[in-house]
Amino acid sequence: MSFPLLTVTAALPAVGAILTAALPAATDTRSRDRNKVVPLAFSLATLVLACVATARFTPGGPRFQLTEYHSWISQFGIGYSLGVDGIAVVLVLLTAVLVPFVMLASWHDADPVVDDRGTFERNRRTQGFFALILAVEAMVVISFEATDVFLFYVFFEAMLIPMYFLIGGFGDRTKGEDAKQRSYAAVKFLLYNLLGGLVMLAAVIGLYTRAHTFDLVSITTALQNGSLHFPPVVENALFLGFMFAFAVKAPLWPLHTWLPNAMGEATAGVAVLITAVVDKVGTYAMLRFCLNLFPEASKTFAPAILVLSVISILYGALLAVGQKDIKRLVAYASISHFGFIILGIFALTSQGQSGAALYMVNHGVSTAAWLLVAGFLMSRRGSRLIADYGGVQKVAPVLAGTFLVGGLAILSLPGLGPFVSEFLVLVGTFERYPALGIVATAGIVLAALYVLVLYQRTMTGPVKAGNEGVKDLKARELVVVAPLIAMLLVLGIYPKPIADIVNPSVNQTLSQVGRTDPAPHVVNAIGGGQ
């Protein structure tokens, strides 16, 4: 039996979470740091395993690789089956890369309170925070790896619980009314996603009554050779059930309203975890499950979903322009970007989907860079309001500079990662739906507006009262930011390695849906084409 690489990659953070939670409570700053180094070590070890998995993945090989299978609940045809295609392996890698940075950036976010007399509040809050992050990582990774619909569903739902505690239990506002806001945000997050998940559960059961198995590969094979056929009404209903859950998670307008609350109230690190890691499961699942299981319904509903995603792009961007709160601004910007990703997926062209897959990676890295730096800034003044800042670049030039680079990535400046993917998505959409492509392009203009206006208000001009004492980035913070910016540059200048892994899987998905690119086929210059 070969080494169960995928299982271990998912299990390692889970073990880390349990160990971290079980460590003795910190009694002083030294033991507190020990309680943080353990989870960090686990997340780094997971990163190593994710790199190994990526290296062992053969682009263009069999569709699902590194597969594992064990029977789990045979009565319902449920198997513990794991496997990754190019898109999944890249997203596992993205998750494993981002989690250590989130941990480092959140290093002091959950520190116990030291009161006036200098006594150390002895509790397990700090290690609980890091344990929850590891638990989320484990569940996200296994969701990416699952090739069994039921297995995916279980972790898709279960990850809500640690996420909920991360949002509700930790935040920069802890007292009175503010704490109420936070618990409201956590409940809103949970209820939205739970409702989506339960609707999906009905569809999952419906799928089983038709297919009598949950194995993705068996179902897709049966669909292709015609031994399984859904009547159109059933297929449409099941598609909508799945899509509803993923559209809440991703999130797609008009199901997005939980995201600004959740990201606004969570710490910057947790906000990155939400938007850059957890929400990717939603867009990934659209590619993986909606398109593969319900190809005909995907084609039927594609125009409607494309219109919703264009609305997301413009609506998110417009609201981002008008925000007064930095984290909420980032949240609305993310809604706009998720619009692009979903646009790319449902344009059903190879450029569009390659772009969408790359966009997931780029959005993760660029949002992490932008929001974590913003988080460093906010932690210095304890305020999230844009109006409280001004002229920061004079007192903290490195912070301002990195914030600018992160922002430029968000607005898709050529040379940085997101440009490549946004370009591909728009080209892919334009091929089939020129009008939507043109409207979506307006989102880029608005992105420039909200990014640059935010920079201008907070960083340029005379130093605003209260900002004189803002310190520049510390060594720990530089360790977080520098690699993220380096990755943005690499992804922007030389995206070929990632594109090479992703492209064959995109083509396999499209052939499952039965869509070919409209002629004439535009050669995909960046990914090397077919």
* Minimum distance of other proteins from residue 202's CB (angstroms): 5
Separation CA 33–CA 504 (nearest Å): 44
Separation CA 147–CA 83 (nearest Å): 6
The amino acid occupying position 144 is F
* Minimum distance of other proteins from residue 385's CB (angstroms): 24
**Of the candidate residues 11, 52, 104, 158, the single one contacting other proteins (CB under 8 A):** 158
Q: What is the enclosing helix (H) or strand (E) of 317?
A: helix 295-321
* Minimum distance of other proteins from residue 34's CB (angstroms): 21
CA angle, corner 404, sides to 402 and 410, nearest 5? Answer: 110
Binding of residue 157 to other proteins (CB under 8 A): yes
* Minimum distance of other proteins from residue 52's CB (angstroms): 27
Residue 68's φ and ψ, nearest 5 degrees, are -135, 145
Binding of residue 198 to other proteins (CB under 8 A): yes
Separation CA 182–CA 49 (nearest Å): 35
Between 230 and 376, CB nearer to other proteins: 230
CB-CB contact of 253 with 316 (8 Å) = yes
CB-CB contact of 392 with 406 (8 Å) = no
Between 114 and 198, CB nearer to other proteins: 198
> Count residues contacting other proteins (CB under 8 A)?
34
Between 228 and 318, CB nearer to other proteins: 228
CA distances from 417 to 102, 355, 364, 411 (A): 20, 11, 10, 10
Binding of residue 173 to other proteins (CB under 8 A): no
Closest Cα to residue 207, out of 68, 77, 67? 77
Q: Which stretch binds other proteins (CB under 8 A): 33-41, 65-73, 452-460, 515-523?
A: 65-73
* Minimum distance of other proteins from residue 392's CB (angstroms): 33
| String marking each residue 482-511 x if it binds other proteins according to CB under 8 A | ------------------------------
Task: Name the H helices within 170-231.
Answer: 176-211, 216-225
Separation CA 209–CA 215 (nearest Å): 13
**Of the candidate residues 32, 36, 182, 432, the single one contacting other proteins (CB under 8 A):** 182
Binding of residue 71 to other proteins (CB under 8 A): yes
Our CA dihedral for 310, 316, 322, 328, rounded to 10 degrees, sits at: 180
* Minimum distance of other proteins from residue 209's CB (angstroms): 5
Binding of residue 3 to other proteins (CB under 8 A): no
| String marking each residue 95-134 x if it binds other proteins according to CB under 8 A | -----------------------------x----------
Closest Cα to residue 297, out of 227, 203, 231, 218? 231
Binding of residue 80 to other proteins (CB under 8 A): no
Between 73 and 385, CB nearer to other proteins: 73
Between 74 and 227, CB nearer to other proteins: 74
**Helix, coil or strand: residue 112:** coil
| String marking each residue 199-218 x if it binds other proteins according to CB under 8 A | x-xx--xx-xx---------
* Minimum distance of other proteins from residue 307's CB (angstroms): 26
Binding of residue 74 to other proteins (CB under 8 A): yes
CA distances from 380 to 22, 118, 219, 468 (A): 32, 21, 53, 11
Binding of residue 419 to other proteins (CB under 8 A): no
The residues of the shown chain that bind other proteins, judged by CB under 8 A, are 71-76, 124, 153-155, 157-158, 160-161, 165, 168-169, 179, 182-183, 186-187, 190-191, 194-195, 198-199, 201-202, 205-206, 208-209
